[in-house]
């Protein structure tokens, strides 16, 4: 099965506020963009991924991620993360009604294409499925088979909400790069220990933080 990934990205100036203990206001937008660039590049290199749609209203992010090969979908609802994902899913399905969809976080800078392929191949067995994040509280990936609605419910405690919505929780090992999103300095150190993409490595080098 080939998947279309939908990746949401808020305006860079407002992104990654929880990294304030590690990165200054001037550095956080660049970090958020680097995370998204490495995430999109790895996703596009995944053999199970047909294409990637990034939903964002940030002009710089749109240009940079579009240059990598992502399709940019304007965030027309402006109603937050789940509204953005539902909108992008509808845009994709309007032209390809039978697309298999996966919502993926934009802050997975250590993402490895073959680990992502393993997760997507497992998800293909179910109408809807999701992968919990490294903290086992949130969600980094949510899938919907052809003909199924995505029904995103990201945010605090999204693992519980996605499970309650009927999505199957994927129980996989050795896919740490797909679980390790970055919200805090501790998350970034964990991602660095896994091995991040080149753009995040360059941006993180300015922070002078130690890997775990």
Domain definitions of the chain by residue range: 3-204
- 172, 122 Cβ separation under 8 angstroms: yes
Ligand-binding annotation for 78, yes or no, is no
Residue 5 phi, psi (nearest 5) = -95, 135
How many CB atoms are located within 10 Å of the residue 198 CB? 12
| Percent residues over pLDDT 70 in the chain | 98
Reported as a single tens digit per residue, the pLDDT across 23-81 is: 877 888 999 999 999 999 999 999 999 999 999 999 999 999 999 999 999 998 778 99
Which architecture characterizes domain 3-204 according to CATH?
Answer: Alpha-Beta Complex (3.90)
- Give the ranges where the chain is alpha helix by DSSP (H): 28-44, 59-68, 81-95, 113-123, 158-164, 176-179, 185-194, 198-205
At 209 the pLDDT is 53
Reduced to 3 states, what is the DSSP secondary structure of residue 105? coil
Sign of the dihedral through C-alpha 142, 85, 65, 133: negative
Ligand-binding annotation for 155, yes or no, is yes
Both structure tokens of 116:
């992502």
Mean predicted confidence (pLDDT) in 152-171:
97
CA 47 to chain centre: 17
What is the crossing angle of helices 28-44 and 198-205, to 10°? 160
Cα distance between residue 58 and residue 13, in whole Å: 9
Cα distance between residue 102 and residue 100, in whole Å: 7
Instruction: Provide the pLDDT confidence category of residue 3 given band limits of 50, 70 and 90.
Output: very high
At 208 the pLDDT is 56
Cα distance between residue 165 and residue 32, in whole Å: 29
pTM as predicted: 0.94
> Chain-wide mean pLDDT for the chain?
94
* Residue 72 Cα distances to 52, 68, 115, 158, angstroms: 9, 11, 24, 25
At 67 the pLDDT is 98
- 62, 54 Cβ separation under 8 angstroms: yes
At 211 the pLDDT is 44
Ligand-binding annotation for 147, yes or no, is no
At 105 the pLDDT is 98
């Amino acid at each position: 099965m080939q998947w279309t990934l939908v990746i949401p990205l808020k305006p860079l100036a407002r992104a990654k506020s929880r990294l304030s203990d590690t990165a200054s206001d001037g550095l956080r937008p660049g970090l958020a963009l680097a995370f998204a660039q490495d995430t999109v590049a790895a996703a596009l290199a995944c053999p199970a991924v047909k294409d990637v749609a990034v939903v964002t209203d940030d002009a710089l992010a749109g240009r940079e991620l579009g240059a990598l090969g992502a399709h940019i979908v304007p965030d027309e609802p402006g109603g937050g993360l789940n509204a953005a994902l539902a909108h992008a899913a509808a845009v994709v399905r309007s032209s390809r009604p039978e697309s298999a969809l996966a919502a993926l976080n934009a802050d997975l800078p250590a993402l490895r294409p073959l680990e992502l392929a393993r997760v997507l191949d497992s998800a293909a067995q179910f109408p809807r499925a999701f992968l919990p994040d490294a903290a086992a509280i949130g969600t980094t990936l949510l899938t919907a088979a052809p003909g199924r609605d995505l029904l995103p419910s990201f945010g605090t405690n999204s693992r519980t909400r996605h499970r309650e919505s009927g999505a199957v929780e994927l129980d996989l090992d050795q896919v740490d790069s797909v679980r390790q999103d970055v919200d805090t300095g501790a998350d970034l150190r964990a991602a660095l220990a896994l091995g991040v993409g080149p753009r995040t490595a360059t941006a993180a080098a300015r922070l002078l933080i130690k890997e775990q």
